[in-house]
Every structure is written in C-alpha cells, then in structure tokens.
C-alpha cells in the first residue's frame, strides 16, 4: 500500500474464491500468486486488491498447479480431492493491462491496441465516449470495441458461429457486441466495420488477421443479418405479449414469455426486460429463472439416464478386456483371418453360447473387421467357427478403444465362447467404403484450397460408395469447381501412404486432425499425394485413381456456419451418371430433340405453359366478374334487406366470387350472398354478409353443412361449408337461403 512500503505490508491473502485457480470443473487446480499495480487515487480507494480491483490492477500471476478439485461451485469452496502426480507452475502476463499501465489509459479499450476501434464506435454512434465512469453507456462502448477484437481473432483462428461449443461462444460475443451497438443508437450493420478496424490496427502484428480479412468481414455480416432477423421476429412476438398484458390489466410480463423468446427464438432476455420496462411492465424474473433451471435439470437428467446404460455396457467391455485383452486388428492388410471367440454378450451380459436365429455381440481376439470410427462405418461379413456355426456380422463398432465388438446373427448352428473361428470381411463393401474414405480426404483438401483453411471438417459419414462431409463455412458453395478439382487430382493417380508417428511428430509434419476427436500418443497418418495429410485410422485405397470418380449430389446448410456435401464415389458415381444420362435421353425423346437441346426446349415449353396459364387465369377472372355482375343485378328483395342465392359453376374460388358479388351491392344495406357449387365428389357453400347485416355468416350454414355431411368454417362476415354429399346441394342451398330470409325479415 502507498503508506506502507514494507513488502510484508503489501501482501494480501484473498482466499480460495479469489486466489485459487481451476478450470471451473473437476480437474487440476492450485493456489495463485498475483502481481498488482497501484494506479493511484484517481482509480479508487486505498486498501489493495481486496478493496478495489480497478485501482490495483492485476498484471501477472503464477498458478501453482498441484491439486485436483472435486464437484462444487468455486465461490462455495469446492473440495480438494487429491494431488497431481507432477506439479507445475503456469504463469502469464496480461498484455492489455500492461499497455494500460504504460500508456496511462483509463481502461483497456483506451490503449493503442483498441483505441482506433473505440474511436470508430464513437463515429458510428455519433457521440463521444463518456469515459470509464460513464455507467452503462460507457460499458456499451467498451463491449462493442473489445468484443469486435475477440470476434476477429476467433474467426481468423477458424471458429465460425454455431449452436454449441466454441462456435456458440463466438456467436454470443458477436450478438452481445451488436446488442450494445444498438443501445448506442447504431441501427446499421456495425460488426463488419468494427472487426475490419481490428484488422487494420493489429494485422501487422498478427498476420493471420490480414490473411483472413475477407472471411472475417463476411462472417460478421452474415451473423449480423441473421441476428437482425431474430430481433425482428422476437420483437413482433414480444409486442404481442406486451399488448396482451396491457389488455388483461397486468403489470407483469410472464416469465414463460421471456423464456420462450430466449429458448425458441434466441431473443436476448435483457432485450425483453428493456422492452417490458419501456412499456411500463416488469418481467417475472423468478418464473424465467425457474423455467431455465428446469430445462437444465431435464437435460441433465436425460443425459444421466443415457449415460447410465452406456456406463453399464462399458463395464461389461472392461471385464472382457481384463480377462482377454484388446482386439488385435489385422484389417489393414487383409480381409480374412483366424481368431478365437473370447466372449459372447446379449442384452443382459455374457452368455456361454448362442443358437441359430439369435443376435449377439461377438468378440474375437483377432479380427480383420474395421470398427466404426472417424466417420467410417463398421465392416460386415461372415464368421465361421470350428464347431460349425455360421454368423452373419451385421456391424462392427468399438466397445472401448481397441476392443472390436461385432454385432452378429447366428445363421447356422450354435456358437460357443472359446471356439476357434475364421473371420471374413465383405471385401466388395470394404473396397467401396475405402474409395469413399479416400475421396473424403481429397474433398476436404480441395474445399480448403477453394474456400480457405476455415473450411475444416466438422463431421463425416463414410459408407460404401457414398460419403457425407460436414465442414465450417458461412455461405452456399458452388460445388462444380470443387468436384472438378477432386476428380482432376484423383485422375493424376496420387500415391496413398499410411504411416505412424507420435502426435507431436504428426503435428510438426502438418497433419490435419479433426476438431473434437481423441487421439493417442501414437497416431496413424494417411497421405494422399501432396495435397492431403490427415490423422486417420480408417481404410483407404492403394492409389488415388482407385477412389474416383467422385460425383457431388448435394450441398446444403445444416446450421449457421455449417455446410454439408453429399457425394458418390467409384462405381456408385458411375451408376448415378448412367441413371442421369438415361433420364436425359428419355426427356429428349419426349421433347423430340437431341439430348443437348433438351434443356432449351423444356424451358421453351415451360414458358409457353406459364403464358397459357396467365391467359387462362385472365379468362377465368373475366368469367367470374361477368357472373358476379349477373348475380348482383338480380337480388331477392326482402322486408329487411336483399338476398342473392344460387348454384354456380365451379370457378375455382367460391369465396372470391361471393366477395365480388357483395362488393357490387350497396354495403350500407343489409344483405346476404349464398352461393353453392359442385366439384367432383364434393359440394361447397359460401355465405357472405354486408357490414350492415347483424349476425354471422356461419350461422346461415349450420343446417346446410349437416345436409352435406360436413361442417362450417370461417368467422364474421364470410363463412364456408362443405361435404361429400353433392347430390344434396340444392337442399342445402335452400336451407341456407331460408336462414338468410329469417335473418333479413324483421
């Protein structure tokens, strides 16, 4: 402290809540030693960091990683359940905070790292930054500037907006920045220009920002547009809810309304609170919090139930591994091998044998069957035992890492644990799968070449002759150039090589790893020429040309920032091509032109058809107008008004005809129009009333609807009825006309 220069007097112990670091979940943790800088009385009172964290700014810390924490919130003092086998020290210096101290800046946003972006916020808002003591307004300036920087770096690092994971964190940052810009009165798109300012300021020090400038701008623009749609839709729903609250005399907006806007439409709850406050309402925050907590509880409970069954099954597999060891997989080099049945499992657990027709999980000590993983489906095939049993392998998947579990149906005889067996993979299916897998790797490489490194794999499904590839991108992709690149590359017949290395060696060699996948200390790498190098445990072709051709059959969005390509490979692609060629030939024959002229001739025919339909619609409109004039000219005069009732030809829209007739009569006189028509096996009635007529149109059709064997629809001055008894239409029209006469006769 300023008054006490002794080192001991400048040391404070803040306890576990403030000086004990963890990841926020059970795992490594340890006490933290922090170095703070006193920025002087202008920033707050004396007393050290325990009194004021703004004045005494943390610059550096040392975390002594030595313990393991258990469950429990940090502020409540989570339990320490053990010690790490090896201790370490994690240290870090805050660049922003050091810059603030060296430059005498009031806030981190006023340093030269962020000041240009903060100035741009002021320009867009049309008002000056009020300084660090400006309350909520000052906060909005800082959030818009700082979040724009975070957004730029995240996108440059390959993160795109998504509904979960790190993409969800990015989306929250983007939408919070946009939200605070709106609070400052900036209604035009703001995020692309703010992120561009970040690139201008920091692009020289961080070249990846400059390399991805265009991507950053496009992602920001797309997300801001999407958030704008969310705000517009949510605002309409919120306005309706506020109107309903006012109509009911309530001063509180229901918590369920706020929750549905938040959960279903992604509408920020703080926006709901602000809008309600402006309308003189409060939001039932307790009900909102209760619904949010209930949602979390249900999700947690569902997860626990799913996890419970999986854990029980894993325990069975662990017991198998403990007794017999892991599966020796020999499938990279062969599709047939000898082995021994080490275990048979059914739904309840281990069984000594399985008989004909029974489905079991078969575990061999040695297997050529690939277990589903890395997007590739598991192998199928046949297992024959020394006891004469024949099993059809329906699928293969990993029970645990290194344990192959074969889902099999006993086709013949009975299989017993301990028997010797011959395992044979369906080689044709395996080859078709390998073609798809190699094609997927090349597709991934060419997408990154065309779109950029951000177009990284986010999931895949590799099946015999077919593949599905999910990747990060923010806009539709023209797949034509991508398909050409893939096929040209495969046609050059690049070599395919699989090799093993440590994870560090693989990363140093530039191997691509799929985000979210788990890898061991030693990994398998697959090279396809010089374009593709990926960590992969799947099966592949021997040469690139064996994977082609590749035909892309679809490209679509599967969520914000995520695209999906579906494609065929090898013989399946050729069969698809033959099928499309046959369709084109059939179409050309129907149009009586050569195949290359079929599209132009079809467009010509479609244009002619559209023109014909326009003429037909015009004729129908003219006929309907003429019929409406004839009907309007001859009403039945009643003591209290007029009535027009008739059975008319099917005009396609009886309600429109009735409204047209009504429009040709004086609206200030009581009157009714009742029209009926037959269309195939159905009869329809429509009733319409003028504004001066008391009662409802539907009341005129109740008896008529019953006669037709149907019901009524519509409210107010126009209604309709229908049924499957067209032979009773005359009777139904008479009943409706009688009801109208009763209504119009005082």
Annotated binding-site residue numbers = 437, 441, 536, 540
Q: Which of 40, 70, 66, 67 is nearest to 55 (CA)?
A: 40
> What are the start-end ranges of the H helices in 541-570?
none
Torsion angles phi and psi, residue 134, rounded to 5: -85, 10
Q: Which residues contact 476 (CB under 8 A, 6 or more apart)?
A: 555, 557, 563
Cα dist. 179→131, 164, 242, 269 in Å?
A: 20, 20, 21, 11
Q: Which of 570, 384, 391 is nearest to 467 (CA)?
A: 570
**Three-state SS at 99:** helix
- Token pair for 270: 């703080």
**Three-state SS at 718:** strand
93 upstream amide cis, omega within 30 of 0? no
Q: Whole-angstrom Cα distance, residue 731 to residue 721? A: 14
Contact 720, 700 (CB under 8 A): no
Name 385's bridge partners. Answer: 421
Name 460's bridge partners. Answer: 469
Question: What's the number of CA atoms in the CB half-sphere (13 Å) around residue 391?
Answer: 35
End-to-end CA distance of the chain: 97
Q: Whole-angstrom Cα distance, residue 164 to residue 259? A: 19
Which residue bears the tokens 């599709």?
Answer: 335
> What are the start-end ranges of the H helices in 157-254?
165-183, 191-202, 207-211, 213-247
Contact 218, 474 (CB under 8 A): yes
Binding residues for Zn(2+): 437, 441, 536, 540
Cα-atom radius of gyration of the chain, to the nearest Å? 36
Torsion sign (Cα): 489, 492, 493, 496: negative
**Three-state SS at 63:** strand
Q: Which of 154, 145, 152, 200 is nearest to 176 (CA)?
A: 145
Q: For 489-614, where are the E strands, in sequence order?
A: 496-502, 522-528, 532-535, 550-559, 562-569
Q: Whole-angstrom Cα distance, residue 154 to residue 644? A: 70
CB count in 10 Å sphere of residue 70 = 12
Q: Whole-angstrom Cα distance, residue 17 to residue 73? A: 10
Cα dist. 433→239, 404, 436, 512, 656 in Å?
A: 54, 18, 5, 21, 58
């Amino acid at each position: 402290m300023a008054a006490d220069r002794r080192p001991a007097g400048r040391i404070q112990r803040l306890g576990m809540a403030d000086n004990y670091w963890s990841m926020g979940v059970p795992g490594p943790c340890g006490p933290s030693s922090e170095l703070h800088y006193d920025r002087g009385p202008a920033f707050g009172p004396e007393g050290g960091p325990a009194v004021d964290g703004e004045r005494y700014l943390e610059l550096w810390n040392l975390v002594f990683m030595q313990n393991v924490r258990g469950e429990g919130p940090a502020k409540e003092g989570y339990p320490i359940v053990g010690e790490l086998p090896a201790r370490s020290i994690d240290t870090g210096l805050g660049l922003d905070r050091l810059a603030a101290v060296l430059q005498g800046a009031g806030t981190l946003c006023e340093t030269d790292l962020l000041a240009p972006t903060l100035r741009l916020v002021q320009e867009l808002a049309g008002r000056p930054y009020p300084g660090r003591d400006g309350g909520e307004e000052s906060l909005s300036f800082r959030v818009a500037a700082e979040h724009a920087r975070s957004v730029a770096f995240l996108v440059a690092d390959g993160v795109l907006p998504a509904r979960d994971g790190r993409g969800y964190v990015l989306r929250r940052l983007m939408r919070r920045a946009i939200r605070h810009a709106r609070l400052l009165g900036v209604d035009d798109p703001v995020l692309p220009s703010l992120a561009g300012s970040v690139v201008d300021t920091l692009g020289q020090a961080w070249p990846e920002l400059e390399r991805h400038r265009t991507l950053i701008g496009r992602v920001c623009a797309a997300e801001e547009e999407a958030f704008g749609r969310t705000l517009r839709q949510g605002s309409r729903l919120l306005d309706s809810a506020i109107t309903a609250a006012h109509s009911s005399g309530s001063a509180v907006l229901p918590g369920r309304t706020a929750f549905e806007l938040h959960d279903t439409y992604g509408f920020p709850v703080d926006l709901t609170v602000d809008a309600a406050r402006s309308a003189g309402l409060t939001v039932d925050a307790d009900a909102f919090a209760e619904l949010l907590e209930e949602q979390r509880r249900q999700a947690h409970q569902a997860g626990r139930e799913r996890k419970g069954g999986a854990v029980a099954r894993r325990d069975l597999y662990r017991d198998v591994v403990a007794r017999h060891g892991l599966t020796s997989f020999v499938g990279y080099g062969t599709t047939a091998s000898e082995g021994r049945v080490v275990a048979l499992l059914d739904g309840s657990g281990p069984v000594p044998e399985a008989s004909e027709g029974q489905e079991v999980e078969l575990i061999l000590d040695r297997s050529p069957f690939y277990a589903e993983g890395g997007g590739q489906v598991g192998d199928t095939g046949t297992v024959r035992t020394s006891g004469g049993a024949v099993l059809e392998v329906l699928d293969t998947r990993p029970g645990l890492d290194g344990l192959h579990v074969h889902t099999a149906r006993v086709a013949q005889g009975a299989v017993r644990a301990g028997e010797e067996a011959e395992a044979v993979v369906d080689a044709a299916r395996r080859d078709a799968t390998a073609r798809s897998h190699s094609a997927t790797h090349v597709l991934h490489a060419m997408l990154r070449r065309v779109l950029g490194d951000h177009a990284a794999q986010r999931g895949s499904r590799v099946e015999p002759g077919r593949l599905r590839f999910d990747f990060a991108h923010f806009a539709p992709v023209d797949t034509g150039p991508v398909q050409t690149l893939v096929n040209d590359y495969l046609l050059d017949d690049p070599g395919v090589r699989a090799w093993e290395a440590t994870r560090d060696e693989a990363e140093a060699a530039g191997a691509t790893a799929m985000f979210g996948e788990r890898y061991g200390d030693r990994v398998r790498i697959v090279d396809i020429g010089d374009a593709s190098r990926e960590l992969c445990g799947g099966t592949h072709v021997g040469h690139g040309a064996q994977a082609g051709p590749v035909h892309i059959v679809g490209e679509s969005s599967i969520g914000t920032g995520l695209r999906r390509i579906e494609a065929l490979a090898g013989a399946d692609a050729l069969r698809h091509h033959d099928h499309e060629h046959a369709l084109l030939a059939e179409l050309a024959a129907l149009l009586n032109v050569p195949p290359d002229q079929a599209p132009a001739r079809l467009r010509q025919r479609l244009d002619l058809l559209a023109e014909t339909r326009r003429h037909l619609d015009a004729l129908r409109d003219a006929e309907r107008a003429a019929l409406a004039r004839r009907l309007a000219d001859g009403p039945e005069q009643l003591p209290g008004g007029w009535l027009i009732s008739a059975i008319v030809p099917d005009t396609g829209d009886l309600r429109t005809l009735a409204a047209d007739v009504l429009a040709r009569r004086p609206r200030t006189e009581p009157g009714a129009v009742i029209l009926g028509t037959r269309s195939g096996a159905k009869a329809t009635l429509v009733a319409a009333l003028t504004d001066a007529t008391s009662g409802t149109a539907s009341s005129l059709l109740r008896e008529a609807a019953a006669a037709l064997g149907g019901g009524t629809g519509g409210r107010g001055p126009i209604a309709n009825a229908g049924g499957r008894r067209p032979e009773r239409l005359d009777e139904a029209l008479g009943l409706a006309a009688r009801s109208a006469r009763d209504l119009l006769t005082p």
